Amino acid sequence: MIQIQIAEDFFRLQGKLENIPFTQSESWYKKSIVQNKEIVFFVNDLVDVKIACWGVLNKVPILKYKLLLINGEAYNNRVTELEVKGFYSDFKFSEFYGVEIDSNNIYNIEYEVGIRRAGFKRPMLSFSCPLTIENDLKK
């Protein structure tokens, strides 16, 4: 996991990926910036990018904890379980007290196994319904 400091650099790297959900788009980022949210950017590699995401940083004032909320992530269809695991395992050693990932991507077994092996667990309670349907708008 590599943290990117400049938004333009991140979106240039993200543009190389096949699957970019709307919650990871540059437009969604601009909406978050207007709402005065602090954003952090991550990629798995600077040359051969296969996973990229940005998240909203939340701070707990009294305790000074940093919590990160990631809504989806952009990735290539060819991403492997080991690449997913490697990327998300690095969050264990980061400055964040907690990381919440709300993935809104189409189910991918490589992603599912990789994120579980990185140490992430399903929440005890769910406040969303992570189901997806694709419609052919040409029909």
- Predicted TM-score of the model (pTM): 0.82
Dist CA 106 CA 139 (whole Å): 21
Q: Where are the domains of the chain?
A: 2-117
pLDDT in tens, 52-107: 999 999 988 888 889 999 998 999 888 899 999 999 998 888 888 889 888 888 88
2-117: CATH topology is Aminopeptidase (3.40.630)
